[in-house]
Structures are given as C-alpha cells and as structure tokens.
Amino acid sequence: NPPKRSTGTAFEGGKRDKVQVLPTSDQAEAIIDLLPEQTPVAGHPIKALFTVIWDTSLRIGTMWRLEVPKHYKRGDDVLRISGDIDKSRYARSLPLTPRARRVLDAICEDEGVIFRRFEYRRMLVQSARKVLGTKHEAKHLSAHDFRHAALTQMASVGSDLTAIGHIAGHKNATTTALYVHNSEAAARRAVARRAGILDTEVDTGAGQAAENRPAVRPKFSESLGGPSWTRTRSQWIKNPLLYHLS
C-alpha cells in the first residue's frame, strides 16, 4: 500500500521562492491593524483571518476547513481540530485567546465554513510594505510566515516545547525544535531558572554589567538541611565550606 500523504494546501503562487520572512510580534500586530476588515469585492474577513492565525498559529490550510458547529460555535473557548482538516492528522483541542474568540463570534454563522478560501496575498503585501519597509520582504510574506513567527515568539518567551508542539500540531518534537532560535535573552532566563531566582527580574539587555544586577538569595529551607549558596559576580555556586555532601 502507498504511504499516506499529508493534507496540505498548495501555495497560491506556484513554486515558492525559498525566502522566509519572520515579522516580530510588534510588526505582525501592526500588519494586522493595517488590514481592512473585509476584502473590497467579495467581503472576505481578511483581518479576522490573520488575527486568528496569529493568535492560534494554525496553518492556512486548516483555517480554510474550519466549520461551525463541528470545530467551533459561538461562546466556545477552544477550537476542536479534527484529524481530517489537519496536515499532520493531529486531532486536538486548541485553546483560544479572548481576542480570537471575539473575532470568531463576530463572523461565524450558525453553520457552515467559517473562512471561505480567497486570495489574500495582494492585500497582505500592501499592508506589510508599510510596516516592514522593504518591498523585497513584503512580497514574500505569507500566512505560513505568520504561523512560524507566532510559534517562534512563543518559544522566545519561554513556552514549554510540549505546549508549542500541541498548538502547532506537531507529532514529532524535532519539528517543534525548528521554531526555537538561539538568543541571549532566552539564555539569561534559562540560567535564572536553574539558579532558582525566578522571583528576581533578570536583565535581558546585553549591555548591563553583571555586578549591577540585584543579588537575591534563592530560598531554601534550613530545617530541611538545604544547601547554602554564595554569589560570585552573576553566578550562584555552592559554598563547599558551608555545605558537605554525605
């Protein structure tokens, strides 16, 4: 028997150039703000489409297949993604932001497809040019780039990879890892968590010297015989004079 094929959606412009555009969170929000509520002729809800994509990270192919009441009905706080509309055939419940719920409640009918397929790229590129500043980047921006940027933003703020994988619809963790990019800010947060100083504001700027950061001791219960700690510049290390391993 031949292997099962994914239920993807062909790129509207034919073979796509290998140019990826990752707007920042502020840029993505600005582009969405510049989009009209509806397309001028057919009245497709283009702003709602990209608002939901940005807030849920759903693939555009899945968006076209969302139906009421099968996947959503007014007042729900989740999208019920069924395997038949997902590229990876990953059925799951996807939590919604309050904004996404408001948008969906405003446009969905009592039954039927929520977003009917339409050509969105021309209007998206027009809005993107005003934000990104370069025609080259704007003309390559697509709905998939919004999805990729949203997942990357989740990773950059420290979201758990298992949570990101569930939202993205990834069955394999190695796929989710593609959305995680190295950054000093993420590294500082990781160091702070390991040191047990999550209650301390960790500076993510590259220029601040370590000596200027507040020195806060991790909280360990003395009654439980926890280790003592001392601070050397920006690192917490065990004090061998005060703590002995048995």
Q: What is the mean pLDDT of the chain?
A: 79
Type of residue numbered 140: H
- Residue 236 has phi, psi (to 5 degrees) of -100, 130
The residue among 137 and 209 whose pLDDT is bigger is: 137
pLDDT, position 8: 52
Average pLDDT over residues 25-35: 97
Q: What is the pLDDT of residues 195-210, one digit of tens each?
A: 775 444 444 444 444 4
Angle of helix 143-156 versus helix 46-56 axis, rounded to 10 = 30
Is 90 exceeded by the pLDDT of residue 100?
yes
Quick check: 227 and 243 in contact, CB under 8 A?
A: yes
Type of residue numbered 84: D
Q: What is the pLDDT of residues 46-83, one digit of tens each?
A: 999 999 999 999 999 999 999 999 999 999 999 999 99
Q: Is the peptide bond before 227 cis (omega within 30 degrees of 0)?
A: no
Average pLDDT over residues 31-47: 96
Is 80 exceeded by the pLDDT of residue 44?
yes
Intra-chain end-to-end CA distance of the chain, in Å? 61
Using alpha carbons, list the distances in angstroms from residue 76 to 115, 205, 218: 17, 40, 42
Q: What is the pLDDT of residues 140-195, one digit of tens each?
A: 999 999 999 999 989 888 788 899 999 999 999 889 988 877 778 777 877 887 77
State the sign of the Cα–Cα–Cα–Cα dihedral 55, 57, 59, 65: negative
pLDDT, position 157: 82
DSSP label at residue 224: G
Q: Which helix H or strand E contains 132, and what residues bound it? A: helix 121-132
Average pLDDT over residues 88-104: 96
pLDDT, position 209: 41
Report the distance separating Cα 8 and Cα 88, nearest Å: 9
Average pLDDT over residues 74-98: 96
Average pLDDT over residues 207-223: 42
Report the distance separating Cα 186 and Cα 125, nearest Å: 31
pLDDT, position 195: 79
Type of residue numbered 49: L
Residue with tokens 């005060």: 242
Helix (H, G, I), strand (E, B) or coil at 237: strand
